Structure 1
Amino acid sequence: MKTAGKVILGIFIGIILLFIIMIGVGVLVDLGILKSSPDEPPEIRVEYKSQAIGEPIDEDSIPDSEYYPSPEQAMKNSSFQVEPEEVYQKNMDEVIAKFENDKYASVYFKSVKDKNTECLTFAKFKKKVIDGEERYTYITGFPTETERDGFTIGTLESLVQGQLALSAFTQSVNIDPENTRFVWGDCNSKEIYKLKIEGQKPSGIIPYESFGEKWYFWYYENLESDIAGSQLQFTLD
């Protein structure tokens, strides 16, 4: 599966670039270069379109030998390319959220390296019934390594703005991309409970802890809007 490994590596590099862009969006909003006010509608309406990262994976070509009894085992045995010191990122030490249908499963989980380093990953798995048993294989994921005493750039508003701007690209973890628009993010502010995007409340908000601090994973299983992520209107009051 050398070709698949190269594809996954390309996807991983693309993801890193996307998160760099996310941080940049937050900084530009805080500097006033980009506007985040939900009361100011965009001058030109841009329609939402799901975007693919990297080359598409031929899921039908994945051999049965690369399917495992659980997402945890599929992640641990995946061809996801990491450095030796990052192998811990394949461990699902804490599952924060899981979404599943008859074809796919997506898991948002935390991996712990040591008391100072953790990684949050949103991974998607293909499902297949083999010899009468349901099995899983890893196909893509978004890993984000964090450090104790790390800092967050920008305000909650700019963070949400950046996450919405990237929502077209993060559809790769959506288990039903043909019929739904899955939008998600996380933050360390309980003000996120006030979030409304296009007047809609999140499908769920799941609190979890990172380095002893409370964080919040929020998501919309199907945001009803055909507006591009960068132009979605939201409120936090």
Structure 2
Amino acid sequence: MSFPIHIVDDEHDIREAVSLLLESMQYQVYAHASGNDFLNHCQPTDLGLVLLDIRMPEVSGLRVQDIMIQQGYIQPIIFMSGHADIPVAVETVKKGALDFLEKPFKDLDLFACIERGFEKISSQARELGDRAALEHNLAKLTAREQEVMMAIAEGLPNKLIARKFDISPRTIEIHRARVFQKMEVENAQQLIRALMRFDKFTPSSQSHL
């Protein structure tokens, strides 16, 4: 699967050369002459890969990385650097960049980095899809079903849940079945894993799990 590739470099010749190379391989390419241009064009949750030059006027690649981290951008970054910038590039990887390429880089090295980036983006896409599915399922629950769901997640048996909400155990059984159906799980363990995966539930010290 292919994703958009953003080339961020203030040098026109480099942008053109890399763009032409990638477009010849049928990649979808966006070229940006500055970090601000990229940040204005790309939203934090857009799927894509960023080829980012370290040294640029006004907003450096390092600053762009910091902004992306602060604002929750999910796009993997591959830094492009000159020989003198290698120690700095290593630090960018420690801060979360996928990799760095020393200019001038070989086509095969670039393609290898891109494929690793696409593997990471595919994982991000699955994660975003799973989160969206969970949010969709949660939105289907009534207020009472949400309360019952959290009680189930805390490990409370039906009788205690019924007592907590002052309703019959039979009604709790009905709510429980509806919660499992709407949340697309078969049991409490699957429900808890789904909720905890996206920080929708944290067991309390009084949890009956």
**TM-score, structure 1 length as denominator?**
0.23
Q: Which has the higher strand share?
A: 1
Q: Which has the higher contact order (CA 8 A, sep 6+)?
A: 1
TM-score by length of 2: 0.25
Look at both structures and tell me which one has the larger radius of gyration over its CA atoms: 2
> Which structure carries more helix by proportion?
2
